[in-house]
Amino acid sequence: MAKTVGPLMSLDAHGTVAGNLTFSKRKTCKQVRFQKKQTDVITTDRTTVREKFAEAVAAWNILSDNDKATWNINARPYRITGYNLYIKEYMLTPPVPIEIDYMEYANDGAAQAAYVTDADAGNNANTKLLLPYTGTNGSQVIPDTSVGGAHGNATAVAHAQLSTAEYKFSPSSLLLDGVDDYIWWPDSDDWALGYVFTIAKWIRFNTDPSAVGMGFIAQVVDANNRWALFTAGNEVAFHIRDTGNYLLAFWVGKDFAVDTWYHIEFVRIDGGNSSTSWRIFINGISQTLTKSQGAWNTPMPTIAGPLEIGKHDGANFFDGHMDEINVTKGKALHTANFTPPTSPYSTTPDLQCYSENTIKTQGNYSLKTIAL
């Protein structure tokens, strides 16, 4: 049925005839258009896009006014509205549809320090040695499971072996008798740690370490050419020695108890010439460093010698258990106090933590990699 106003073929005609011909005025001219009815085909892809768009709109609607204002600011360089930018980002990379835990930290640094997922994720390309010490009781097969190093099995000296009697993480740990036990790997470029690295481990003493020095980890040519982390009296000490000269020596005071698990993390943050470039954490608490010789910015030496665990200066052997040793090159896993890990390292990809303020400001950009 014709629905027109004015004579059908006149300049004043407008409206639609039989649902196909539409008479209208466009600017300074008249036009007649043939309208073809569109077939509304519902496909799976179309339904998916529609549902995603509806989710995006719903997500926008629950944003606070401040959040929307921030999106509007971020959208200005593109000459679109904050709403359009938000919908675009949501459609391209929607947030993970689970409840978000906004970590109540004042800034990203605090969030990273309190919830460092790099440390939890652990095993990645920067991990040059990872010793979970898992195996059967008495076994001397001690493999390196690191992604970035993959140095194979350690050479177990004397009675160095796995023990199921004590462990931090099931089912076993490394047992050393304090007499002549230790493990080692041949020289490698991975042991040239540079200016940024982390060495972390769990330790448990069978005898009082204040009575005799005990080696944690060292790379050694001989007593005059080495770097080492060890106990000396009521101290945890670190030395770099070259041709008999101490290029750097510093320590922290600590009175250890026997039959108690401790988490030790030794970190170099950068090449700066102050104590702030280094950290020794005991159970996640940064200790006060005291330098006795050398310069804080001394580079880690490139030593053509084996990496040894459980021995220092050829005679000071560790007496007790070790678990979850990790050597990471190129990353300072912690720079401020933290909670020691409560589970073994995994192959989970690295995540990043963000403060609540960043999450609110950056929206999806920060939600892409938030640790939940």
Write the pLDDT tens digit of every residue in 288-299: 999 999 999 999
Amino acid 52: pLDDT: 84
Residue 12 has pLDDT above 80, yes or no: no
Per CATH, the number for 116-352 is 2.60.120.200
Q: Which residue has the higher pLDDT, 88 or 242?
A: 242
Contact between residue 366 and residue 121 where contact means Cβ atoms under 8 Å apart: no
Highest mean pLDDT among 1-15, 70-84, 230-244: 230-244
> Cα 178–184–190 angle (5° rounding)?
135
Give the start-to-end residue ranges of the domains of the chain.
2-34, 44-94, 116-352
> Cα 243–249–252 angle (5° rounding)?
155
Residue 359 has pLDDT above 50, yes or no: yes
Which residues are paired to 261 by β-bridges? 204
Residue 88 has pLDDT above 90, yes or no: no
Alpha-carbon span 266 to 278, nearest angstrom: 8
Q: Cis before residue 132, ω within 30 degrees of 0?
A: no
**At 304, which amino acid appears?**
A
Residue 264 has pLDDT above 90, yes or no: yes
Tokens representing 142? Answer: 């001690």
Pairing of strands 127-131, 225-231: unpaired
Q: Which residue has the higher pLDDT, 128 or 87?
A: 128
Question: pLDDT of 121-153, one tens digit each?
Answer: 468 889 999 999 999 999 999 999 998 898 999
φ/ψ of 263, rounded to 5, equals -100, 120
Tokens representing 235? Answer: 């101290």
Give the pLDDT band (50/70/90) at residue 106. Answer: low
pTM of the model: 0.63
Alpha-carbon span 344 to 220, nearest angstrom: 29
Pairing of strands 278-282, 197-205: unpaired
Amino acid 96: pLDDT: 41
